[in-house]
């Protein structure tokens, strides 16, 4: 969640290169809503499978920096992860079949209390990229902090869910993957959200320009969109908001 206005991302990359000069780095995003562990978790979960085995993921959304929360490195499914132990990795580790090994990273005595991304996480990621064994980075941990979760509530003909993120186009992505299942989400079915009607369709082109629709997005999460428009703005929706979806 560092953004690109400041120097934070650049100096983290510099610290990686000090440990592994031949490192190849890919930027997933630096525009996570500040302090939104849930949003960061979503982006990580949706991206990991596109990368080759052995990739090191450095993920830092760290509202608890400087507190007693642990800094960790972990492995699962052939990938490595470096992150704060605040639930950021819970979903992706579960997706990959569960945690295999995790270690607690040492925080150097001269580390900044507010920028562990530079002083703790980036150097550890660089060492892993250079081939250091995970176990050499710290003491083994038996388990990690679980994500707090975002409760989905099913009622008769109703679904109460959370706005997980809003993408560049203004599409509203809910914390509701298709694998959860809800029998009412069928093509052509109409729903009521915030007092307005919206239809469920397989793709944007099934509605007219400027019309709204519900659909499964490319990550198979429920999405509220406006064809060639901005759903978040038109529907007045914000990240973290609880939304009631009522089948008609």
Is residue 146 situated within a structural domain? no
248 pLDDT band, cuts 50/70/90, is very high
Kindly report the CATH number assigned to the domain that includes residue 35.
Answer: 3.40.50.10790
- Read off the pLDDT of each residue in 211-235 and give the average, rounded to a whole number: 97
pLDDT of residue 88 exceeding 80, the answer is yes
pLDDT of residue 151 exceeding 90, the answer is no
- Read off the pLDDT of each residue in 65-82 and give the average, rounded to a whole number: 96
3 state SS for the chain:
CCCCCCCHHHHHHHHHHHHCCCCCCCCCCCCCCCCCHHHHHHHHHHHHHHCCCCCEEECCCCCCCCCCCCEEEEEECCEEEEEECCCCCHHHHHHCCCCCEEEEECCCCCCCCCCHHHHHHHHHHHHHHCCCCHHHHEEECCCCCCCCCCCCEEECCEEEEEEEEECCCCCEEEEEEHHHCCCCCCCCCEEEECCEEEEECCCHHHCCCCCEEEEECCCCEEEEEECCCCHHHHHCCCCCCEEEEEEC
pLDDT of residue 66 exceeding 90, the answer is no
Is residue 53 situated within a structural domain? yes
130 pLDDT band, cuts 50/70/90, is very high
Q: What percent of the chain has pLDDT over 70?
A: 99
Q: What pLDDT, on a 0 to 100 scale, did the predictor assign at position 150? A: 67
Name the residue range of residue 54's domain. Answer: 8-140
181 pLDDT band, cuts 50/70/90, is confident
**What pairing do the DSSP bridges indicate for beta strands 101-105 and 71-76?**
antiparallel
pLDDT of residue 213 exceeding 90, the answer is yes
66 and 173 housed in the same domain: no
149 pLDDT band, cuts 50/70/90, is low
pLDDT of residue 192 exceeding 80, the answer is yes
- Read off the pLDDT of each residue in 29-44 and give the average, rounded to a whole number: 94
What value does the mean pLDDT of the chain take?
Answer: 95
Kindly report the CATH number assigned to the domain that includes residue 160.
Answer: 2.40.30.90
| CA–CA gap between residue 57 and residue 224 (Å, rounded) | 29
């Amino acid at each position: 969640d560092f953004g690109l206005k400041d120097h934070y991302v650049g100096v983290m990359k510099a610290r990686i290169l000090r440990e592994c000069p031949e490192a190849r780095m890919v930027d997933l995003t630096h525009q996570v809503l500040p302090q939104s562990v849930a949003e960061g978790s979503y982006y990580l979960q949706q991206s990991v499978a596109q990368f080759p085995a052995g990739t090191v993921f450095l993920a830092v959304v760290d509202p608890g920096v400087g507190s007693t929360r642990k800094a960790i490195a972990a492995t699962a499914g052939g990938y490595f992860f470096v992150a704060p132990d605040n639930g950021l990795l819970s979903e992706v580790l579960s997706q990959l079949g569960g945690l295999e090994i995790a270690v607690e990273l040492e925080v150097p005595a001269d580390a900044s209390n507010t920028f562990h991304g530079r002083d703790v996480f980036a150097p550890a990621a660089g060492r892993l990229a250079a081939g250091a064994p995970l176990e050499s980075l710290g003491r083994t941990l038996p388990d990690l902090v679980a994500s707090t979760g975002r409760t989905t509530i099913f009622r008769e003909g109703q679904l109460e869910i959370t706005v997980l993120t809003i993408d560049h186009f203004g599409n509203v992505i809910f914390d509701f993957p298709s694998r959860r299942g809800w029998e009412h989400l069928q093509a052509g079915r109409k729903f009521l959200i915030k007092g307005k009607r919206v239809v469920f369709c397989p793709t944007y082109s099934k509605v007219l320009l400027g019309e709204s629709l519900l659909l499964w997005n490319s990550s198979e999460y429920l999405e509220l969109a406006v064809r060639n428009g901005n759903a978040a703005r038109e529907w007045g929706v914000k990240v973290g908001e609880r939304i009631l979806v009522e089948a008609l």
